[in-house]
Amino acid sequence: MRYRLGRTLIPAPEIQARVRELAGVISRDYAHRDLLLICVLKGAAIFWGDLCRALRVPSQSDFVAMESYGDSTSPLEEPRFTKAADVSLSGRDILIVEDIIDTGHTSVRLRELLYAAGPRSLAMCALLDKAERRQVVTPIEYSGFVIPNAFVVGYGLDFDQQYRHLSHIAVLESLPED
Ligand code: IMP
Ligand code: MG
């Protein structure tokens, strides 16, 4: 299959406006708390960069990376961290910063792993929510946009490590074989 960049789903100015709104709500909710942003590499890196700079409360940040589920979602093969957090999570107010919640499996597992480290609170901030695709229930306390069931790229999200640099979110189109 060949692919190409397709139509714009969310233009850059809309993303920027929504990130500012989310940062406003998070700043209100986390005033006088001990906010630790956990950015999930690699897809959330650009979102994290804009979000943390728009916050009006102090925050610390750390980074994790997860093994991917691929196509198998067997509970016998729970994905682990390929990079765990460096700082202690115990007693912290953790806000996970994610690019997209699709089936929900990564989020469920990530919450389990982080919860085991004993934070005071744990919440999810995801830029995109592909709600139609959900297979397991997982809360998204701060959600940027609910999007339809399409493969999207840009603003950190990739296809084969491409397109992360785009300032907007676009649909990846598959081309017919010739
Ligand atoms: P899950 O299905 O909710 O476990 O999502 C797992 C991961 O798949 C997300 O964190 C993304 O990294 C990736 N993913 C899911 N949908 C898309 C997409 O449309 N574009 C790019 N990456 C995606
Ligand atoms: Mg991800």
C-alpha of residue 39 to centroid of ligand 2, in Å = 9
Q: How far is CA 34 from the centre of its chain?
A: 21
Q: Residue 76 has what DSSP assignment?
A: G
pLDDT band at 78 (very low <50, low <70, confident <90, very high): confident
What is d(CA 132, CA 138) in angstroms, rounded to the nearest whole number?
13
Classify strands 60-66 and 35-41 as parallel, antiparallel or unpaired.
parallel
Active-site residue, 158 included: no
Distances 135 to 7, 26, 29, 67, 143 between C-alpha atoms, Å: 27, 27, 29, 18, 18
Give residue-wise pLDDT tens across range 36-58.
999 999 999 999 999 999 999 99
Token pair in block for residue 132: 């139609």
Residues with CB under 6 A from ligand 1: 43, 69, 99-107, 151-153, 157
Q: Compute the average pLDDT of residues 112-134.
A: 98
What is d(CA 113, CA 178) in angstroms, rounded to the nearest whole number?
46
Q: Residue 63 has what DSSP assignment?
A: E
